[in-house]
Amino acid sequence: MAKKDIVIITICIIISIVSGIVAHDLIMGGSILLTGLLCAYFASEGKRVNYILGLINYLLMGYIAFKNNLFGIFFFYIFIFSPLQINGYITWNKNLNDDNNVKVREFTLKNSIIITLSCIIGSLLLGYLLTLIPTQRLAFMDAASNCINLCGVILMILRFKESWWLWLINNIIDLIIWIITVINGGSGSIMMLLVSIGYLLINIYGVIKWSIEAKKNKEVNK
């Protein structure tokens, strides 16, 4: 393990423990924050272990979403995102470079149009379905968050660097959702807000890192 990885892991552990104590949510909240931060970091580094951490993280966040009546997030995290983590690990394992990191790919214009339309249409359809659930809160924001996140997860599995841009958009939506939930006193919502902030910072790093890797791969393949 590289020295940088050890430093990042140590920092994430400290942040998770301190945040858990401050939020009075050390066990569940601290575990979500730690697995979330480490998952995003190792994904930005192109390492397969992110999918093991991601599986744990999605299961835990699905539980918190259920307790806060965010059923769209619950369904996606438990029944879609969690199984995709297993698929992602297998797919990345078949597409590694000499450094044992995943090979990065880039979008075409056609890819961009398809993904954009898929996110918009999927968000509207899912948002409408969620409004039919009497206790559902923030239906269309919940739907948009999950549709964008799903596209991001799929693009990450397929090794496209643009997955990080989608997650930046999703981060903004998630931040709004959890800020509103914190204001309303939602269970475990403070830690989920901290998770979203942590994701935002690491996603910015991911955009930069994967853009550099994609450029390197493009030059090698010329």
Give the pLDDT of the chain (222 residues) as one tens digit per residue.
788 899 999 999 998 898 888 878 889 888 988 998 899 899 989 999 999 999 999 999 899 888 888 887 788 889 988 999 999 999 999 888 877 888 888 887 788 888 889 888 998 998 998 899 888 877 888 888 878 888 888 888 888 888 888 888 888 887 888 888 888 887 767 777 877 887 788 888 888 988 888 887 776 655
pLDDT score recorded for residue 219: 65
pLDDT score recorded for residue 220: 60
pLDDT score recorded for residue 174: 78
Domain residue limits at 192: 3-220
What three-state secondary structure class fits 102? Answer: strand
Full-model pTM: 0.77
pLDDT score recorded for residue 199: 79
Separation of alpha carbons 135 and 121, rounded Å: 23
Query: Structural domain tally of the chain?
Result: 1
**106 closest CA partner among 221, 222, 215, 220:** 215
**24 closest CA partner among 194, 140, 161, 154:** 194
Residues 6 or more apart from 168 whose CB is under 8 A from it? 200, 203, 204, 207
Transcribe 68-116 into DSSP letters. Answer: TT-HHHHHIIIIIIHHHHHHHHHHHHTSB-TTSSBPPB---HHHHHHHH
